[in-house]
Amino acid sequence: MTARTSSRSRPVELSRGEALQLLAQAPLGRVVFSYQALPAIRPVNHLVEDGGDVVIRTHTGAALLGRAAMGEVVAYEADDLDPVTGTGWSVVVTGTASRVVDPVELAHYRAVLTPWADTEMEHVVRIRTDIVTGFRLVRGEAGS
């Protein structure tokens, strides 16, 4: 790890709206949930609804489905960080997960959200964005 002697990056807190806008533009993120009493993280692609909730697709047997069926709290994180310039952003949303079961909603999400994994992803999970935090790393001295 090298020390930077010139201008360093500093975190700037994002508003809820800015954070959700960046999250909506991200091609993928990571869903964080409890599995066998331990933290589990899975990379997935997503979409952000107009109201700000995050929607992902998953497969039968996925550990996340059990969490969603019980309405447990999960987190979702996405970022775009450049290690060369020390700039970028990170957004974390925290809220309850639930399975989407309405046939019209399911058809809609299956049409607009194509999973990256080459496996049947017939289930849809919505993550309510109760807490949204985010920051942008910008160049400049801490006092500027």
Task: Note whether 19 and 53 are within 8 A (CB).
Answer: no
Tens of pLDDT, residues 83-122:
999 999 999 999 999 999 999 999 999 999 988 877 788 8
- pLDDT of amino acid 65: 87
Please give the torsion angle defined by the CA atoms of residues 99, 103, 109 and 114, in that order, rounded to the nearest 10 degrees.
Answer: 90
Spatial separation of the C-alpha atoms in residues 58 and 60, rounded to whole Å = 7
Which of 70, 69, 32, 34 lies closest to 54, judged by CA? Answer: 32
In the chain, what are the domains?
Answer: 9-133 (2.30.110.10)
- pLDDT of amino acid 142: 53
Task: Note whether 14 and 134 are within 8 A (CB).
Answer: yes
Tens of pLDDT, residues 51-75:
999 999 998 888 898 888 888 999 9
Lowest mean pLDDT among 36-40, 53-57, 67-71, 76-80: 67-71
Which of 96, 69, 80 lies closest to 22, judged by CA? Answer: 80
